[in-house]
Amino acid sequence: MRLADPLDQATGLRRLFAAEAVFRAVGILGPDARRNARVSAGLGLAFARRGSQALILDEAVAPHNVGSLLGILTRHGLLDVARAGQLAQAIQPAGQGLNLLAAQDGIAALARMDEREALQLADGWRSHAEAPQWLLLNSAPGSGQSLSATADLRVLVLPGAKTRLAEAYTVMKSAHTAWPGNRWLVLVEGADAAVGEQLFTALRETAQRFLGIQCDFLGTLPHQREGAHPILAAANVIGSPRAAGRDTEMGIMAERLANLPVGEALEFEQYWQRMWLFCRMTTEAHMRRTAPRAAPRAASPPEGANKTLGRPGVFIRSRK
């Protein structure tokens, strides 16, 4: 598909003389919404502790999304700002160098735009003061058909139970089918180190055999004790004294992601156009799958036959 022409003379000059900051994108996918949100928020805060700005594009819905986990009430979603043409209005600070963009309706919002409208929305990103070095895409749970599939680097959050292997593989297969060719890292959440490596090995062998995907092991996060309230318990695993060990593990994983040679640095407008194209392709493919098929035309009756009476295929021939 041909890229859009410059929107206007002022926009073209701004792109020519004001180079846009680049960033790297990481898709967080998995079958469990709470685990995905914990990993997305944990990695975002770990990048922030390293001195990098991070933006989480949150496709999950409350209460098991990053906004609920961090206690942030999102005022606007991606669909709202798409209508208003002001992307920066939906970006909310989450503290410690972390920002949040609610995008539960992200695919629907972008698919409704033409390319010029999408680029106009992305151009508004330049007005945002704190451009991120990292974009973390927290996917809707249980599906690879999400904006997170467009990231060059993907982290699959595998629940630490053998019974969840099939669900995790399904998410990986769905994302790979929608947008293949990207690198996968597997993080096991809720298991000890030995069990985590066993689960990773089983998933890696299946993915390599049936999908041709090469997976790398990112690490294991141990079980976390639950409190009285599930949302508060989830929030307590990030940035609190009780979660010092988990925060350390997140820091190690963020350091490894930062040092990986995979995942080119992109401009925001460049990546926004990629997401728009993915949304259009995904929506059109869904429409083709769900479109009602035309009923087959009935066969013409043989010459000399009257209309059918009773069950189909029974004809009364005319008498001479």
Q: What is the pLDDT of residues 248-266, one digit of tens each?
A: 888 889 988 888 876 567 7
* pLDDT tier for residue 195 given thresholds of 50, 70 and 90: very high
% of residues, the chain, pLDDT over 70:
72
Most confident range (mean pLDDT) of 89-103, 190-204, 235-249 is 190-204
Map tokens 């629940």 to a residue.
159
* Structure confidence at residue 245 (pLDDT): 64
Residue 27 has pLDDT above 80, yes or no: yes
d(CA 147, CA 279) in angstroms, rounded, equals: 8
What's the distance, CA 121 to chain centroid? Answer: 19
pLDDT of residue 303: 55
pLDDT-derived band at 80, boundaries 50, 70, 90: confident
144 vs 5, more confident: 144
Distance CA 235, CA 47 (A): 18
pLDDT at 116: 81
The pLDDT confidence band at residue 226, using thresholds 50, 70 and 90, is very low
The dihedral region occupied by 263, where left means phi > 0, alpha psi between -120 and 50, and beta the remainder, is left
317 vs 120, more confident? 120
Are the C-beta atoms of residues 30 and 36 closer than 8 Å to each other?
A: yes
Q: Assess whether pLDDT exceeds 70 at residue 124.
A: no
Confidence of residue 182 (pLDDT cuts 50, 70, 90): low
201 pLDDT more than 90: yes
pLDDT value at position 307? 45
Inter-residue contact 132 to 23 (CB < 8 Å): yes
| Over residues 67-89, mean pLDDT | 77
Instruction: Provide mean pLDDT across the span 19-32.
Output: 84
Q: Look over the chain and give the mean of its residue pLDDT values, rounded to a whole number.
A: 78
Q: Which two tokens stand for residue 91?
A: 């970006």
In this structure, of 1-10, 15-24, 204-213, the range with the lowest mean pLDDT score is 1-10
Comparing 197 with 178, the larger pLDDT belongs to 197
| Structure confidence at residue 210 (pLDDT) | 93
What pTM did the predictor assign? Answer: 0.79
Does the pLDDT of residue 136 top 60, yes or no?
Answer: yes
Q: How many CB atoms lie within 10 A of CB 187?
A: 24
* CATH match of 19-290 with 3.40.50.300: yes
pLDDT digits (tens, 9 = 90+) for 269-319: 788 888 899 988 888 877 787 777 665 565 555 555 544 434 444 434 444
pLDDT digits (tens, 9 = 90+) for 29-74: 999 999 999 999 999 999 988 888 899 999 998 889 999 988 888 7
